[in-house]
Amino acid sequence: MTEAWTEEGGAARAVEHLRAAVLRRRPIPRLTETMALSLDQAYEIQKRLIEVDLAAGARRIGYKMGLTSPAKMKQMNVDVPVFGQLLDRMLLQDGAPLRREELIHPRVELEVAVILGDGVDPDRVKTVDDVASRIRAMAVALEVIDSRYEGFRFTLPDVVADNASAARFVLGSAFVRPSKDVHLWGARLFKNGEAVGFGTPANVLGHPFAAVLALARLLAERGFPPLAAGDVVLTGAIGEAVPVEAGDVVEGVLDHAGSVHLRLV
């Protein structure tokens, strides 16, 4: 089934549509409006989409988990976590300006990021404690998502094919030692000085390190190389994503990990 579909050029067409949306900064209709898409086919499209960037010289610096919190699952009406790939060109410096017109309809999320100090082989790493021992540092992060689909609406295979809406991300400047208590730390998101979200990273699959475990398993299932030392992992939004426009200033704060900033211009 997957073979026949691929031979027909379905994956190649999907990749073209998604790339055109990014280049023109115009949303496209959901892929599932015109093609039946399984989850396997969707990850195949994502793989090819990223291969185009890698062939053009981009570097994959890690992965993102998405739809790992009840708030996000409810907001997007998808209840299965997904992963996407992070490229070097998506990373912004703390406080750096982001031009609104580079994106279609950006939204910002508050997340816990981890930087691995060791590989995560799902056959050997099974608990939150095991994951903690593999982490070099943690940081508070802002993720800018930008679904390539009209109305920011999609089904599970659509969002997987679209690299889980990945667009940009910012890491806070304070890299802190891994703490197993991170799920209990308070997290707050501000837009133009006004609080627009708060919660704890326990919203993320019970513990953000559990999201790293889930990612390690998904990568193995999908034939990706295992997580390695140096990889960045965005563990998923703690609360709802917040729409942003030019002129907005966003700040994320996580107890014991400082803050992170983004300026839309």
Binding-site ranges for Mg ion (CB under 5 A): 66, 109, 143, 237
Query: What is the smallest separation between the CB atom of 65 and ligand OOG, expressed in angstroms?
Result: 7
Shortest distance in whole angstroms from residue 236 CB to Mg ion: 6
- The option from ligand OOG, Mg ion, none interacting with 42 (CB < 5 to 8 A, set by class) reads none
- On whether the CB atoms of residues 166 and 106 are closer than 8 A, the answer is no
Amino acid in position 21: A
CA-based torsion, 172, 173, 176, 178: positive or negative: positive
With the CA atoms of 114, 155, 217 and 135 taken in that order, what torsion angle do they form, in degrees rounded to the nearest 10?
A: 0
Among 109, 231, 248, 251, binds ligand OOG (CB under 6 A): 109
Instruction: Give the footprint of ligand OOG on residues 70-99 (CB under 6 A).
Output: 72, 76
By beta-carbon proximity to Mg ion, the closer residue of 143 and 158 is 143
Q: In the chain, what's the furthest Cα-to-Cα distance?
A: 53
Q: Does 31 bind ligand OOG (CB under 6 A)?
A: no
Residue 147 as a binder of ligand OOG (CB under 6 A): the answer is yes
Residues numbered 149-178 forming contacts with ligand OOG, rule: CB under 6 A: 159, 164-165
- How far apart CA 84 and CA 49 sit, in angstroms, is 11
Question: What is the distance between the alpha carbons of residues 43 and 83, in angstroms, rounded to a whole number?
Answer: 9
Which of ligand OOG, Mg ion, none has residue 53 at its interface (CB below 5 to 8 Å by kind)? none
